[in-house]
């Protein structure tokens, strides 16, 4: 206790550390708001600044930066509907729906509070549960991580819009997409079509943008009239901030999910967010249906997203073992600063450990007022005409995707996944389970194979596995009981394009099974599994849609002009340069679809182009 | 209230927009400025190789007055970086830093493709690896003798099938009769965590990267190459235990991969004056006291292998008439324990 208080006192007494805390928090919030600058890229960008602070204050700067980068990261996803990572996509589902209903400020308020709460839970875990955390880390093996992946996959039912078969089919396709790349157990290229760019798998940003951003923003939607008085921003943001109290237990459970996933490396950074979102849908009733603007659908993923950072700091700081690539960069930055981390850090400089814990808490607390100052201004984005926002948002999504990997293959994937996303949306098929399959598939495959190689069947009787599987069974039972009590649920109606979408999934699944017959056993297993589930569920979906074809609703066609302009922007990006592609797209789309004057369109296009150029320069 | 446009209605003249437009379009031109060199690194951002590449580029720029731009091409474990370099013009505008583990990948051609490392023009290798086998305290293995006599296989955590952590244990099995069972799929920090949790008994890797295991009570029980450090001084070397017809070829291979460390290269077919100039620049950076001080502060090893020597080693390793590749394939084809 004395050590902890002493660390707080020394943090407060050091002007350099306080300046590092403030600047790190500001830089983190700014990086989160900037498309294409996620936690990892942001850390790389600010490491030189941290060097200027020296070892101690530099470490404070980096921890402050990393603690809050996710706090503001979901705000563009809510306001523009343009998530650029799998984590943000979960928040965007209900957050963007709230923004379209004129509740952007409320969503932003809830996001800020949930993020700060999650961050605090993560920081407290770093403080209080250290001995237990180290014990957990050193007793969790591959079978437990695999069982956790299975637990995460239970969320498929919750994410399927009331229709499990469609969700299972989408999840199978997600696992199939995740299996693209070189199989680590046989070194066999799998579904790479001879393209070396695909050896490390598909580009996650291209998948998220194609699956969610393009279909949502290219949808033809009427310009709804939302009455939001100019001064309503603050009151709505505060309302959102306070509303999370009603969902406090969900927020706590989601934060604990985030901590658990963060402290145990191997599940992937996005898994925490999706498991928490699925958990909310399974266990937390909402007056507004999930997917249509349920505030709980914003609170749960945001709390988990920030709390996982505190959890993932435990193995990084105390064992010197990074649980994710972001933590790897943080570790490298610490090494550059000359800060020693690992088991000896606790013995040699315990006060410094507590100082970093306080930094984590302080930056999360500091982020809330800083964001509150900006929130009403940001929420005014939602007041803009949709036809003016869509070109800029799509351009930001294109830039963020292309900046992850400047290669023609990235742009090609963006086009392919956009086509898939448009088809699934037109078919009323759930897209969230596809992303869940993509996020959890690799861990599940690797875990199953390694568990078999090391433990065999005895993996199933390990205490940790039994506890997690028991928990899974309890959740399934509780969820089924809740559904039974609630009576029959509405499910998504069929649509004329359902059959092509189902046929495509069926053909892809069958092709995967055929490819699997030519591969070694370790590479083939996941293809047989996902392909088999895909074929069976596609057949079931086809039967259902055929039976209901008379009552199928006809969805609105997407905006063809915007899509063609976007395709042109992708072509220009590939053939000439990204800034030119983005600028040309924004200018033409604003004139053609936004009804904006040429002069304003050119100005906005130039500003967008300059922003992209700035990001490219920073990246270098 | 109607939705309204927030775009500015005044204050921007056509001429200002036009000027901005010209500036913007000019900036969009994808030209490569003269005097700029791109250093393509085949290492993942955030790791030790990434930090070394950044440091090297910074001091190369300082000493030569050139602008050095670092680009990461981390995919496929560095193979894509090598492929990109192989297609680049040999005019000094592009150089690369490649991990020497690509040698295993090329020799085994596990993915069906090779990087043609022997065709590249080597500038030199920096940072020899100290390859060791570390076992955890929980494994109850106290020496290599105990390991060899153990009835059950010794499970080692490894990243990929072409990594040293996977290939080298199989070479050790082939040369000593040990029963090491490398399990791939442990990327990044997961490898050390698997050992700490008791899931794996140990790991083969660079001594510095296994430091968390040593801090937690682990011990070095075998040195795979001949560089001795205090932490590994008590352990026997593989050369002292190896036997069999493939002994010389495989010891040469392990030693070569370890000694090359980070390989700096120009594209294939670099003209001799250009190659000599760049080799001299590499030597200049490594000899520079400021660079050496900065690298030592970050615990980077600066053992250097000259460019001509790297070329000789690579040609020796990839020469089909030598026994290296067949010996490696025999080691990899041996029945798994």
Quick one: pLDDT at residue B7? 44
How many angstroms away from the CA of A355 is the closest CA of chain B?
22
pLDDT at site A289 = 83
CB contact at 8 A, A20 and A61? yes
Q: Cβ of A335 and B51 within 8 Å?
A: yes
Tell me the two tokens of residue A450: 């390694």
Quick one: closest CA in A to B45, which residue? A329
Quote the pLDDT of residue B222: 93
Query: What is the spatial distance between Cα A188 and Cα A195, in angstroms, rounded to a whole number?
Result: 13
Residue located via tokens 């990006």: A573
List CB contacts (< 8 A) between B78 and chain A.
Answer: none
Closest CB to B197: pick one of A139, A199, A322: A139
Specify the long-range contacts of residues B69-72, CB closer than 8 Å, at least 24 apart: B69/A620, B69/B36, B69/B37, B69/B38, B69/B39, B70/A620, B70/B38, B70/B39, B70/B41, B71/A620, B71/B38, B71/B39, B71/B40, B71/B41, B72/B40, B72/B41, B72/B43, B72/B44, B72/B45
d(CA B26, CA A160) in angstroms, rounded, equals 48
**Residue B26 structure tokens:** 């000019």
Residues contacting A45, CB < 8 A, separation 6+: A31, A37, A618, A619
User: Per the CB < 8 Å rule, is B21 touching A606?
Assistant: yes
Q: Report how far apart, in Å, the C-alpha atoms of A607 and of each of A29, A42, A593, B24 are.
A: 21, 22, 19, 9
* Residue pointed to by tokens 């997203």: A305
Cα–Cα distances (Å) from B143 to B149, B154, B222, B262, in that order, read: 10, 12, 8, 31
- Say how far apart CA A77 and CA A382 lie, in whole Å: 12
B155 touches chain A (CB under 8 A): yes
CB A356 within 8 A of CB A350: no
For chain B, the residue count is: 337
Confidence of residue B132 (pLDDT cuts 50, 70, 90): very high
To probe the interface with A, which of B56, B102, B184, B216 has the most A CB atoms within 10 Å?
Answer: B184
Q: How far is A565 from chain B (nearest CA, A)?
A: 19
With beta carbons less than 8 A apart as the criterion, state whether A559 and A218 touch. yes
Which residues in chain B are contacts of A336 at CB distance < 8 A? 51, 298
Q: In this model, does residue B16 exceed pLDDT 60?
A: no
B48–chain A nearest CA distance, Å: 7
* pLDDT band with cut points at 50, 70 and 90 for residue B301: confident
Q: What is the pLDDT of residue A511?
A: 94
pLDDT at residue A552, rounded to an integer = 62
Minimal CA separation from B68 to chain A, in Å: 10
Per-residue pLDDT at A563: 92
To 10 degrees, what angle do helices A142-153 and A269-283 make? 50
Q: What is the pLDDT of residue A336?
A: 67
Question: What whole-number distance in Å separates Cα of residue A620 and Cα of residue B72?
Answer: 10
In chain A, residues with a C-beta closer than 8 Å to the C-beta of B198 are 138-139, 141
CA–CA dist B220, A320 (Å, integer) = 19
Residue of B nearest to A326 (CA): B46
Nearest to A28 by CA among A65, A60, A75: A65
B91 — contact with chain A (CB < 8 Å)?
Answer: no
Nearest chain B residue to A382 by CA distance is B3
Residues 111-150 of chain B with CB under 8 A from chain A are: 111-113
One DSSP character per residue, B194-254 reads HHHTTSSSEEEEEGGGGHHHHHTT-EEEEESSS---GGGTTSPBHHHH--STTHHHHHHHH
From the list B88, B65, B100, B102, the residue with the least C-alpha distance to B266 is B88
Summary count for chain B: helices (H), strands (E) = 14, 11
B135 pLDDT above the threshold of 60: yes
SS (H, E, C) B51-88: HHHHHHHHHHHHHHCCEEEEEECCHHHHHHHHHHHHHC
Place of tokens 């560089």: B227
Structural contact between residues A533 and A508, judged by C-beta atoms closer than 8 angstroms: no
- Chain B nearest-CA residue for A610: B24
- Homologous superfamily of B36-127+261-302: Bordetella uptake gene, domain 1 (3.40.190.150)
How close, in Å, is residue B308 to chain A by CA atoms? 30
Q: What would the mean pLDDT of B33-56 be, rounded to a whole number?
A: 74
Enter the ipTM: 0.75
pLDDT at B295 over 70: yes
**Partners of B265 in the beta sheet?**
B96, B122
Contact B189, A264 (CB under 8 A): no
Owner of token pair 């969902």: A247
- B159 min Cα distance to partner chain A (Å): 8
Q: Is B216 touching A (CB cutoff 8 A)?
A: yes
Distance (Å) from the alpha carbon of A393 to chain B's nearest alpha carbon: 15
With beta carbons under 8 A apart, name residues in chain A contacting B108. Answer: 187
By the CB < 8 Å criterion, does A124 face chain B? Answer: no
Q: What is the pLDDT of residues A485-523, one digit of tens each?
A: 655 455 555 566 678 888 999 999 999 999 999 988 888
The answer to whether the Cβ–Cβ distance between B48 and A331 falls below 8 Å is: no
Cβ distance of A384 and B198 shorter than 8 Å: no
Residues of A in contact with B155 (CB under 8 A): 454
SS3 content of chain A, % helix, strand, coil (to 5): 80, 0, 20
Q: State mean pLDDT over B107-119.
A: 71
Give B152-163 pLDDT, tens digit per residue.
899 999 988 888
Give the residue-averaged pLDDT of B259-271: 88
In Å, what is the CA distance from A247 to each residue of A92, A230, A293, A570, A596? Answer: 19, 28, 15, 42, 42
Question: Which residue's structure tokens are 């208080």?
Answer: A5
Q: For chain B, which residues make up each domain, given as ranges?
A: 36-127+261-302, 131-255+329-333
CB contact under 8 A, B188 and A185: no
Residue A44 and residue B45: Cβ atoms within 8 Å? yes
| Predicted local distance difference test score (pLDDT) of residue B334 | 76
Contact B37, B93 (CB under 8 A): yes
Break chain A into its structural domains and give their ranges: 2-551, 560-619
Partner-chain contact A184 B185, CB within 8 Å: yes
pLDDT (0 to 100) of residue A223: 58
Q: Which two tokens stand for residue A330?
A: 């943080």
Q: Residue A323 has what pLDDT?
A: 63
The answer to whether A617 contacts chain B (CB < 8 Å) is: no
Please compute the mean of the pLDDT values over residues B112-117 and round it to a whole number.
67
User: Using 50, 70 and 90 to split pLDDT, how confident is the model at B170?
Assistant: very high
In B, which residues are within 8 Å of A195 by CB distance? none
d(CA A197, CA A66): 29
Q: Give a three-class secondary structure readout of A259-317.
A: HHHHHCCCCCHHHHHHHHHHHHHHHCCCCCCCCCCCCHHHHHHHHHHHHHHHHHHHHHH
Ramachandran category for residue A475: left, alpha or beta (phi over 0 → left; psi -120 to 50 → alpha)? alpha
CB-based contact B197 A140, cutoff 8 Å: yes
Average pLDDT on B261-288 reads 90
C-alpha distances (whole Å) from A550 to each of A424, A494, A496, A498, A545 are: 19, 9, 9, 13, 9
A596 at B interface, C-beta within 8 A: yes
More confident residue, B51 or B253: B253
H or E stretch including A189? strand A189-190
Chain B nearest-CA distance from A436, in A, is 21
**Residue A158 pLDDT:** 66
Greatest CA span in chain A, whole angstroms?
73
d(CA B210, CA A400): 36
C-alpha span between A465 and A471 (Å, rounded)? 10
Chain B CB contacts of A450 under 8 Å are 183, 185-186
Beta carbons of B195 and B136 less than 8 angstroms apart: yes
Q: What CATH number should be reported for the domain whose range is B131-255+329-333?
A: 3.40.190.10
Average pLDDT for B228-234: 80
Which distant-in-sequence residues (6+ apart) come within 8 Å of B184 by Cβ?
A184, A185, B158, B159, B160, B161, B163, B166
**Which member of B47, B80, B193 has the closest CB to residue A332?**
B47
Please say if the pLDDT value at position B3 is more than 60: no
Instruction: Give the H/E segment covering residue A73.
Output: helix A55-73
Give the SS3 label for residue A570: helix
Q: CA of A315 to nearest chain B CA: how many angstroms apart? A: 9
Helices A55-73, A86-100: crossing angle, 10 deg rounding: 50
Residues of chain A with pLDDT under 50: 227-231, 488
B51 pLDDT tier (thresholds 50, 70, 90): confident
Answer yes or no: do B29 and A140 touch at CB < 8 A: no
Q: Give the A window 38-67 contacts with B, CB below 8 Å.
A: 40, 43-44
Per-residue pLDDT, averaged over B38-47, amounts to 73
The residues in A 552-581 lying below 8 A from B, measured between CB atoms, are 576-577, 579-580
Cβ separation A609–B24 shorter than 8 A: yes
Give how far B298 is from chain A: nearest CA, Å.
6
pLDDT at B185 over 70: yes
């Amino acid at each position: 206790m004395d050590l902890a208080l002493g660390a707080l006192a020394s943090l407060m007494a050091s002007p350099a550390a306080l300046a590092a805390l403030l600047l790190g928090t500001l830089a983190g919030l700014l990086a989160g708001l900037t498309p294409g600058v996620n936690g990892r890229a942001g850390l790389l960008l600010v490491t030189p600044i941290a060097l200027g602070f020296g070892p101690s204050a530099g470490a404070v700067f980096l921890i402050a930066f990393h603690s809050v980068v996710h706090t503001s990261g979901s705000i563009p996803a809510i306001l523009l509907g343009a998530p650029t990572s799998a984590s943000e996509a979960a928040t965007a589902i209900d957050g963007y729906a709230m923004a379209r209903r004129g509740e952007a400020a409320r969503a932003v308020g809830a996001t800020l509070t949930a993020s700060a709460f999650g961050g605090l839970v993560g920081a407290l875990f770093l403080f209080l549960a250290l001995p237990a955390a180290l014990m957990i880390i050193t007793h969790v093996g591959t079978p437990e991580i695999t069982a956790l992946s299975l637990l995460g996959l239970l969320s498929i039912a919750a994410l399927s819009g009331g229709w499990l078969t469609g969700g299972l089919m989408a999840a199978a396709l997600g696992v199939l997409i995740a299996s693209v790349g070189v199989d680590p157990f046989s070194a066999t290229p799998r579904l790479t079509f001879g393209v070396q760019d695909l050896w490390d798998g598909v580009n996650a940003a291209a998948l998220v943008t194609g699956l969610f951003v393009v279909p949502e923003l290219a949808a033809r939607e009427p310009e709804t009239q939302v009455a939001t008085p100019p001064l309503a921003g603050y009151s709505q943001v505060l309302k959102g901030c306070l509303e999370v109290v009603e969902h406090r237990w969900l927020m706590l459970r989601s934060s604990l999910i985030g901590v658990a996933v963060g402290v145990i490396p191997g599940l992937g950074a996005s898994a925490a967010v999706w498991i928490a979102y699925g958990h909310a849908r399974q266990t937390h009733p909402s007056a507004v249906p999930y997917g249509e603007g349920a505030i709980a659908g914003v609170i749960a993923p945001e709390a988990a997203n920030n709390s996982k950072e505190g959890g993932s700091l435990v193995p990084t700081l105390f064992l010197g073992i990074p649980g994710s690539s972001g933590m790897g960069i943080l570790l490298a930055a610490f090494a550059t600063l000359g800060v020693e981390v690992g088991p000896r850090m606790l013995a040699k400089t315990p006060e410094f450990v507590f100082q970093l814990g306080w930094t984590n808490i302080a930056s999360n607390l500091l982020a809330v007022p800083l964001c509150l100052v900006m929130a009403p201004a940001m929420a005014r984005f939602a007041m803009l005409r949709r036809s003016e926002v869509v070109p800029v948002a799509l351009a930001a999504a294109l830039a963020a995707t292309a900046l992850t990997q400047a290669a023609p293959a990235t742009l090609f994937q963006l086009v392919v996944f956009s086509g898939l996303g448009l088809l699934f949306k037109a078919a009323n098929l759930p897209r969230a389970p596809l992303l869940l399959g993509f996020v959890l598939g690799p861990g599940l495959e690797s875990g199953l194979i390694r568990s078999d190689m090391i433990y065999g069947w005895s993996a199933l009787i390990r205490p940790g596995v039994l506890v997690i599987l028991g928990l899974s069974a309890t959740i399934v039972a509780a969820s089924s009981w809740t559904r039974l009590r609630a009576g029959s649920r509405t499910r998504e109606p069929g649509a004329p394009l359902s059959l092509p979408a189902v046929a495509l999934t069926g053909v892809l699944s069958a092709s995967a099974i055929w490819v699997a017959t030519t591969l070694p056993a370790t590479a083939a297993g996941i293809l047989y599994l996902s392909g088999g589930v895909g074929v069976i569920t596609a057949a079931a979906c086809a039967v259902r849609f055929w039976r209901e074809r008379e009552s199928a609703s006809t969805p609105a066609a997407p905006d063809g002009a915007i899509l063609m302009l976007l395709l042109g922007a992708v072509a220009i990006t590939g053939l000439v340069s990204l800034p030119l592609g983005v600028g040309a797209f924004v200018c033409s789309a604003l004139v053609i679809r936004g009804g904006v004057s040429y002069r304003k369109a050119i100005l906005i296009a130039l500003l967008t182009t300059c922003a992209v150029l700035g990001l490219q320069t920073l990246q270098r | 209230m109607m939705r309204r446009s927030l775009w500015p209605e005044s204050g921007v003249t056509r001429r200002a927009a036009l000027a901005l437009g010209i500036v913007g379009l000019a900036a969009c031109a994808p030209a490569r400025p003269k005097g700029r060199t791109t250093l393509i690194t085949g290492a993942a951002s955030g790791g030790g190789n990434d930090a070394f590449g950044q440091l090297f580029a910074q001091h190369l720029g300082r000493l030569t007055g050139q602008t050095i731009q670092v680009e990461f091409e981390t995919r496929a474990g560095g193979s894509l970086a090598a492929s990109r370099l192989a297609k680049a013009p040999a005019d000094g505008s592009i150089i690369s830093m490649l991990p020497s583990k690509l040698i295993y990948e090329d020799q085994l051609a596990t993915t069906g493709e090779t990087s043609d490392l022997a065709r590249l023009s080597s500038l030199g290798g920096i940072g020899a690896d100290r390859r060791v086998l570390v076992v955890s305290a929980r494994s109850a293995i106290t020496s290599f003798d105990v390991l060899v006599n153990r009835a059950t296989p010794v499970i080692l955590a490894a990243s990929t099938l072409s990594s040293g952590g996977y290939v080298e244990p199989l070479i050790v099995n082939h040369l000593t009769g040990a029963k090491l069972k490398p399990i791939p799929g442990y990327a990044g920090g997961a490898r050390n965590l698997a050992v700490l949790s008791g899931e794996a008994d140990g790991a083969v890797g660079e001594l510095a990267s296994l430091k968390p295991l040593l801090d937690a009570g682990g011990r070095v029980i075998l040195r795979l190459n001949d560089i001795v450090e205090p932490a590994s001084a008590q352990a026997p070397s593989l050369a002292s235990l190896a036997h069999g017809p493939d002994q010389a070829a495989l010891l040469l291979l392990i030693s070569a991969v370890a000694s090359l460390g980070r390989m700096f290269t120009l594209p294939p077919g670099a003209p001799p004056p250009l190659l000599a100039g760049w080799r001299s620049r590499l030597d200049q950076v490594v000899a520079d006291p400021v660079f050496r001080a900065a690298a030592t502060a970050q615990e980077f090893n600066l053992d250097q292998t000259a460019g001509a020597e790297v070329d000789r080693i690579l040609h020796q390793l990839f020469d089909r008439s030598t026994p290296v590749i067949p010996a490696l394939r025999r080691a990899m084809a041996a029945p798994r324990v």
